Structure 1
């Protein structure tokens, strides 16, 4: 700003540096590493010599522009302009992008798009045809060092200045970058000398611009084309406004006007309003004083009320102390009962211990008797076995004796029958003799017929008997064995058909509902979950196989991958035990088997594991985790945690698997690092056991049920197997029916054979019986006499047999009468053992009775002990409850006492209950209320507080009003003073500008004068040629009367004059010479170069499309020419 105190440089005059001669930091020192120095011949003047300080040997003011960079900005795709620190000329044809560089400078340093006169919105400055962002970047000097020569010094010295902006953050250079986006937004970026981002805040950019005194919107500092045209075409009022804006007087005046309006508003409204408030407060204070004086008469009532309140407070304490005393008495009684209960428990415990010891002793004795009884029983069993073995011969002899006795009885019975038969024969013989002739013929015929019948029956029997029964049995056993085997095969075939049919239906249903592959009830479970989602803490995830897809190129590995995921592929994920219990209830509701839909509890992380222990190198591509495509992060983590899919690999062949995953020699082999198992596509598995490779064949699952995308092959195979199985089942059914028919036929044949054989046997026996009867009845002529020889012979044989049997019986009885000493010893030992056992049984019964009695006594004692312990526990609980109540009551008493003590000292004479004092207080308060109604329901203390409060408010408000009035008056006085100073400064700046303007006009042999009409806000420019014969009548006051070149030169002269009155590190002028002819342009360029060299610490940037051949480039002057606009690419620059 022009109104700020100018920085004092080494070239300033003594009058300019009088206020800061003692402060070395005001001297700006140039950078040591400046590339563009100035000529030493231009150093110093006589004022510098008098002050002992020489002109700066080299350096520039902080804030000059070192580089301008554009990317996709206006017509430039990418351009970088590096500027000299003093005088820079940028030239080029129209459309080459000269003004775009000035616009980039303005936009980067905070100007709006409208102020550049290049568009209404900043997004319009992005290069046409580019869809991305535009970037502009300015690099500013921030090096605070300079060289100076003091009196008496032979060499320049380096000193540090303070003009640099935050050098500890930005260093020697500040990069200001602005990113312009297509959506119209933009972003500032302040970077240090290394390009590192320091800030994105516009406030930091404004602080830097203010510190370095960069005025980007000051038309004198940056004069673009539009402002130049406005200056040339504007009227005197526009020029005066330009003057005010260039010197910042316009902004100062606006600030003063704003302050003046605010001050006037405070005087006219705020002060009046506050004065009214002050009067109201004064009246309230007076009224409070009056009420307080009248209310002093009710002070004694308040004292009595205070005494009653003190008694009430301590009456609460007295009541609580009485309650505490009663509770303490109850606690003492409970403690006594607790002690009695403990003593009772001790007695019961001693009794239980005694009963337990007695029970233990008796149990030990009973166990000893049981062991002794077991030994006796084993001994008794041994003796009984030995006795049985010794008695076996005797028992055989007894059996033989019984047989002989039976034989003797049978023989005696037969003898009696023979004698009866002999008598019968004799009777029949007598009868026979009487009917012998008539019966012989009939008997002969009957015997003949009987013999023929017997022969026929015998022939029939031999014919039937010729076929042995063993053949029937063997054939029947063979047929039954074949039938049973056929039945078993039919049952197996039926089960296989049912299994294949179920699997086929499942696969066919799988094409419509993939959930069926996880179990028949899983779809219903999924429906239950969806309808009850609100009951879960987080929605269950599952089955996990629904979230895992095998990549298309690895479909051949589906069986192996399903075997790896066998235990987790059908699982559900929940987040806690509550959700697991709810899901278990759904499974029980659907009666699902336990192996279906297992549940895994795992937290929800929301992101996949990123530290998997995958095998190294090419092995990782064969890991199951690489074969699967799992989108859900929680499912992926569960598969890693439960199935360890990162360490299980699948290879197409066994040879390749062993070659790539095995390490070491045979007998010492091992898997590669992070490899746990290796599978083949058919499900076979490789493992390492004790250094050797183990090959485990897959004998179960042959097809992928879940991960396979196409199940048509398995469906076709199942249909083929089902057809073959049904055909085999039909064959087995036919074979079973045939074998069953054969078995029934054989059984019928066997039964028929047995029946016929029995019938034939009965017929033979009947024929024999009839024949024998007829033969006995028949006698031939030789038997006409009675013949009993056979009976006598048989009788003699029977008599002999009886005699022999009796002799044998006598021998047996003799043998039986003999004793066996060993048997007798064994029997005696057995009797002794039996007697010992009986005695032991008696002792056992007695001891068991004793043990039972002791057990009953122990149970009774234990029950009594438990009751005593329960009573003791109840007593302890009662004591604890009483103690808690006493402690609580003590706390209440302490709290009540503390409150009462805080309220007033202890009052002893308060034996009445609190209700008594409360009633008295209410009565007193009613009485006081009647008195208070006279004073707006306030007591004396309230009135005193109200009086003091209103007095304080009045005093405070009066002080605030007085201070505020003084501040407003002070501000008004200071504003008037500053306005006078501003007017004096305006006059001073106008005079200096007019002098400078005349100086610059004289360089072209003109006399110029600036006529400032401050009251009318006009600036008139008067120009007259310095030629002989020219008078004041030849003075030109209307700029339109001048030629275009003269008018442009006048503009430049005025700008240079105004420039001497402002402080800015750089000045920019765009197309200042477009209306000049070559002569005026040459003079103007010479004036600009000379004037700029005099201000060697400032930077000047002149943009012109015209020829610069008259300007000579040196160490302080740099000319840059832009290429013609034949394309829109990089746009390189050339230097003349």
Structure 2
């Protein structure tokens, strides 16, 4: 194949225009070098006639020989027949429908002009028809946006906001893609279909959901996953030939220029993208060649430097003899230091023996004081036992207070009763005087009344009686209504109360769900890190503790690592709540280690407690209650004996009692004559030795990381437990929510009944009673008119006075009875109070005597304890001195052994009697003489040796790296040349296939034509000879501009079908392709497109046209979707 050379040249402008070598979908700029045909043309015009020199020792700038494309006519003659046969073979070959990568359905909600648009597509040919303005093009826009295409490629808007239907705030597009067959994308996760949902809002937010075939389970919401799906299925949504929008189709069909058609050809076949990437590779190879040339120029300098250092090193070898004298003195000095350390070791052993003799004397003092302490303890215990036998005065004091309160209340009530009797006697006397006066006055008035008015008064009295009876009846009915209303009101209040309770339960369940979710998160974290319940990054804390050095024993913790609950389901919550701070604590044996441990904890943002305690495994059995009582210690399984003692000292777990309920726990503590305990119903109970008890509730924490302690479950079981709890809580939440809705509904119904029928009925009764009372008042007035005014008034006053007297007498009798009862109760309470006061006085006398005796015994015991403490501290001090001496002797011995081993490794033993100082003075004298010689040379022998090695390594490394990188760059150049040759072959094959298929499609209309490619000028020209030219015998071929509208559109459709044959994407979309065609050209074009689709059943076609399908034969593999006519809205 002929070639022409081209030198690869770059400048600042071209670097920025070519972009990165990544294979991304890009839209080229019209005014940049990106519009060039490819590397074969662009580089072929540069440096013509020059050859690259690829030898390793070449200093010239790297050049690349780019192969020149073979002549089109020569290539066509060589390959036309073979490609034509291949096309015919492909047409005859049976192909199946595509198993993945085709669109099954699309749904657009509030998108462009559609409130909801839904289409199901067939696997092969799909037509979308409808009148202009019906929103057909929204299908392709939705398809582009759902697959991650650019908004400007739709030709319908510059941003997502412009696609949201007017009057709404968001839009949603749902796309279903087929995903079957052996090449399906993640079939175990997505199934036989992939559902892609994209939602965007006017606020600018946008999101994707990639779901499985049922559209309910979200597999991913990342854009990268969508890109992976498109790459796997070879869907190129931004490729202008795959999805030809309405504007692009109109431009392509009616007014496209040769350069634009050539640009479509390169972009659609992705040859342009390969071209850009090859250009980037060429630039990188050139830059690498320049760097390699620079590295090669530095190698001679490194070699010269190496030779200079070797020369200096040979001169320095003359100082070796003098250096040997220095080495001999170093060996003697090493063994002189060993002898000095041996003398120091003997002195340390003598000091240790002297200090050990003091310990037995101090221990004897402690033993004597401990015997004395036992005697004092027995005296104190006897006093305490006598004090316990005395008992408590609490119950007597309670009785005294009770009697005093009752006596005070009775006396107050008695005084009030006596005062009321005096008042009532005076009131009865006054009323008797009033009654006598009224009777005399009434008798005088009766004598004055006339006999002729008696009949009328009798009639009025009868009417008044009837009116009163009616009123009484109406009031009874009104009372019945009121009772019924109150009953309904009570029912409503009960419903409201039930609603409030249900609402509280809903909130409680929601809180519990949040708590369970938090605990589930902590459990999942603990699956990865078992230290999660103990604080922040405790695992790193423990690792740092293991690496650090400590004065005492290595710190132990967290203590919860060594603790398990024997019955976690029963006692886990109580023990975790009460012992939480201790379970997360750490322990040290030396107070000096506390600050270092605290710094480690604070470094990881922890404030865990730190316990300082000696490792004392004391016997604690004497402090435990009998076996029948369950204590905290007996409820735990602790794997470390020292942790047991720490929890006993800090938490008194050996005598803290556990019981099922507060009452049973209080009874058990009383049997033990006092103590502390925790009950399963969440109470902390304390019973005092002198009597009495107190208790308070425990706050159980369930939503923090410590809730994972003492559960008895591993991480997986803990996760399963909380997940099951979440399911149960959610079910319960649904139930209480339903109960809440029912209660609200019932309360609303009752409120309507109260405000409706019952209220109206009650109002009617009120009106009836008011009217009847008005009648009664009228009759009463008439009656009063018949009776003299004085008689009526006197009669009314007499009745009121008699009624008042009767009431006063009844009250007086009741008060006299109460007074007698109160006087008896006061006398009894005074006698009982006197007896209780006597008992309390006797108790206080005995208590004061025992208290004085006990205080004296305790004072003496404290004195003995102080003596023990003094001698114990003295013993500890002596032991510390012994320990320090032992440590010093041990360190000295270790140093002696280490120095001896080091000296033996350095040289054989050298006997010497000189001190290290004497040897060092002689060695310094010889070393100064050696340094003076080295100073003249500029470096020591060791430094010169290091310089020689360093120079040799640098020279070898530079030469090796240059050779390796040069070989790689040559391999890259060779590979790129092969790829450039392949690129030109791809372009030639695709061009020839396009020409043959174009001619074949034109022949179906009776036309003759061809496609002319000019790769140098980057043009694609059509030449067509129509049937009328053939009839006229004209052989000249027309340019598309001279064709009629229908002929031009038909020829362009033939070109589009030819280009489609070169695209691997399973999807072809075309919008309004027949707007410029007449009926004949449209019918033939449609048939040709359907035949092409039938020949390629593994491709899916979505074709949009405003025309109807009346004259088109529809097969089984063709699906027609009709859009409704557009709805026109008019403004008022």
| Range class of TM-score, shorter chain | 0.3 to 0.5
Normalization by structure 2: what TM-score?
Answer: 0.47
